[in-house]
Amino acid sequence: MNQITPAQLAAWLADAGRHKPVLLDVREPWEWQTARIEGSRHIPMRAVPARLAEIEPAQEVVAICHHGARSQQVAMFLEKNGFSRVHNLQGGVDAWSRTVDPAVPLY
Q: Which of 38, 83, 77 is nearest to 56 (CA)?
A: 83
Q: How many CB atoms lie within 10 A of CB 68?
A: 19
**Domains in the chain, number:** 1
Q: Which long-range contacts (CB under 8 A, 24 or more apart) does 71-74 make?
A: 71/24, 71/26, 72/1, 73/45, 74/24, 74/26, 74/45, 74/48
Owning domain of residue 58: 2-99
Q: In tens digits, what is the pLDDT along the chain, a chain of 107 residues?
A: 899 999 999 999 999 999 999 999 999 999 999 999 999 999 999 999 999 999 999 999 999 999 999 999 999 999 999 999 999 999 999 999 999 999 999 99
Catalytic residue among 65, 74, 89, 93: 65
Active site residue 1: no
Give rounded-to-5 percent helix, strand, coil for the chain.
Answer: 40, 15, 45
In a domain, 106, yes or no: no
* CATH number for the domain harbouring residue 43: 3.40.250.10
In a domain, 84, yes or no: yes
In a domain, 107, yes or no: no
In a domain, 54, yes or no: yes
In a domain, 105, yes or no: no
In a domain, 57, yes or no: yes
In a domain, 62, yes or no: yes
In a domain, 104, yes or no: no
